[in-house]
Structure 1
Amino acid sequence: MVALSLLSLYAMSTPWVSVALMGTLERQHPVLSLEQTKAPDAIVILGGGRNPDAPEFGGDTVSPPTLLRLRYGAYLQRHSQAPVLVSGGRVYGELASEADLMAQALAQDFNVPTRWREDRSRNTHENAKYSAELLLAEERKHIWLVTQAWHMPRSVVAYEAYGVEVTPAPTAFSRHSSAKSIWLRFLPRAKNLAKSSQAIHEWLGIAYYRVMAAVAVDAL
């Protein structure tokens, strides 16, 4: 058992395994084709965490994963001119919600306005629930949903459960290093272990959502 545990730890720490695990999630929704997709009623960008008490910014700001989502969301907004909804609350009771930080970053860094701020959610399920309330109240049903490619399958399930028509707009796909040496794909690194852990977390989350839907229980 010790040997098996060490082997599993090594395998999940290699880019060969971590990219493969991420691929099981990321291949479910391809890159958005702007030329072949109808314009949305709104663009929804999901929060992906915050960088707390960042000294260079004088307080909380968006995390690197959130910034990736905002960058792509801003790109889509310029293409479509659709209004933007940002979604993210106060997971640990912070003063500013993730939605507030996201709207600030969109305005200051990308010169993109925010139409709605969904600032009550603490997880993906609540992102969908509270965003749907804001959007459907204005009869805006079709959205482009922006989040990391590995997070998209669970996000789509959550939003569609609340009657929203979702066109996935995934970003930040996992890729192997551009290095030519194939041996580097078998070199263990901490960031690859984190990716493998994230992929497993997502699959467990998807399984949980499906079980809750099957027994008609409101997932948390």
Structure 2
Amino acid sequence: MLQLVRLVAVSFIVLAVCVLFLYSPFYSQTVLKALHQFVPVNVNPVAANSQKAGGLSAINTLEPGSELWIARQAYLKVMQQQMQSQQADTLSVVHARYQLLQQQIKTQQEIDSEKEIQLPLMLDEPAASTVETPYVFVRDESHTQALMQQYLEFLSAYPIDLEPTAVDDDIFQDIAFIQQQNAQSTQTHDLPYAIVVLGGGLTLAENRQDIVVNHYTRLRLETALATAAKYPTLPIVLSGVEAPYMQDWLKQYGVDAQLLENRSMNTCENSRFSALLLQKKGGAPRVLLITDAYHMPRTRRLFALNGIATVPVEAPMPTPLTKWQPSVKNYDHSRRANYEMLATLRDVVLGSSDCREVP
């Protein structure tokens, strides 16, 4: 009986010490240091190939790898060559060719779409009339380079008559975009290309009706304001289903974030969908990443797996740590540290099973 009492007493003391440690500021800081030291953030070189250094553009909505996307890459290349050769008088001609090229691609896509939905019982009926085009392209998605070469030849040499008043105002935006790309072409991968802010959740406003950002998200947005003041030329990417509410919050302070990734439901999707968005907008090998300190190691690892190096910019937690004495505020940090530690172990060992491939 005496041994049992001793065992119960020792167990109670050990439990009390563990609880006391959880409520102290030392537990969360120990876990945080371990996460920052042991979680790998090496960039996946294969995924990094999709994040080529280029000028980010909020107006580019073409799907990477699509024919319209390939056509635009060919168009920008030809335009850049003409600008470097100082043949400004041909820029409008190239732009007119590009408009014709877009029209032909869209027409062919509509024809292909009609063929796909045509019912077998209607095969004996006359086929829908097609628009004759003076230039035929080989439509083989497995040969992107060949398709690119055909588009380059079309944009460089196809004969076209251009009316003096037929110049589209979009050409001036394209020229400005190319100039921006040229200015950023000398930028090293060590410099950031964008500011990425991860959402931390939503909550109800004081009226219990309106939806607003919660304390975690608000503190990240406040950090984003300070970061944007230091890097005024960098575009801001808002990631998470909270993105529209985050955008509204920033607008109150005169900051307009135009790149919204509003489909992700977890950290894995934050990184994957943000990487796809940045790829579509021109590429970003390195970004400034804003989230809280506990969330940062796991998030940096996931962004690295998607080919993006990150520069951490830590946002504060809603509650501060005490210096040494136990408190409920400290336990909030310990609970956050436990969650991120277990989530990181799950991601490393089992992978993120709840992460969708595409938005």
TM-score range normalised by the length of the shorter chain: 0.7 to 0.9
**Is the Cα–Cα contact under 8 Å of residues 19 and 175 in structure 1 kept in the other structure?**
no
The equivalent of 1:158 in structure 2 is 302
In the TM superposition, what whole-angstrom CA distance separates every residue of 1:173-212 from its partner, at most 9, and x where no partner exists? 79754xxxxxx61x32222112112112111112222124
Out of 263, 275, 282, the position equivalent to 1:120 is: 263
Instruction: Name 1:9's counterpart in structure 2.
Output: 19
Please tell me whether residue 210 in structure 1 is matched to residue 354 in structure 2. no
Deviations 1:24-74 (A, max 9, x none): 446789xxxxxxx954221100001112x2125851111111111111112
Q: Is the alpha carbon distance of 1:130 and 1:106 closer, same or farther for their aligned partners in structure 2, counting shifts above 3 Å?
A: same
| In 2, Cα distance between equivalents of 1:200 and 1:8 | 14
Mark the CA change 1:66 to 1:218 in structure 2 (over 3 Å): closer, same or farther. same
2:172 matches 1:172: no
The match for 1:55 is 206
Aligned length: 193
Q: Verify the 8 A CA contact 1:86 1:103 in the aligned structure 2.
A: yes
CA distance in 2, matches of 1:39, 1:84: 15
Give secondary structure in 1 for the equivalent of 2:295. helix
User: Match for 2:197 among 41, 45, 67?
Assistant: 45
Q: Quick one: structure 1 residues 219 and 164, their matched pair in 2 at CA, closer, same or farther if it must change by over 3 Å?
A: farther
Residue 124 and residue 46 in structure 1: after superposition, are their counterparts in 2 closer, same or farther (change >3 A)?
same
CA distance in 2, matches of 1:154, 1:64: 21
- 1:111, 1:38 → 2: CA distance? 28
Aligned-CA RMSD value:
2.7
Larger radius of gyration between Structure 1 and Structure 2: 2
8 Å contact 1:212–1:219 — kept in the other structure?
Answer: no
Q: Is the 8 A contact 1:19 1:176 kept in 2?
A: no
Letter in 2 for 1:132: A
For residues 1-220 of structure 1, the aligned pairs below 5 Å read: 1-25=11-35, 39-51=191-203, 53-56=204-207, 59-80=210-231, 81-89=233-241, 98-108=242-252, 110-141=253-284, 142-172=286-316, 177=322, 185=324, 187-212=325-350, 220=355
The whole-number CA distance in structure 2 between the counterparts of 1:126 and 1:208 is 15
Give the drift of 1:163: 1.3
* Structure 2 residue runs without a partner (length 5+): 1-10, 40-188
Secondary structure of 1:207's partner? helix
CA contact (8 A) 2:289 2:312 kept: yes
TM-score normalised to structure 2 length: 0.49
Instruction: Please say if residues 40 and 143 of structure 1, whose CA atoms lie closer than 8 Å, have aligned partners that are also in contact.
Output: yes
Displacement of 1:17 after TM fit? 2.9
Structure 2 distance, partners of 1:26, 1:62, is: 27
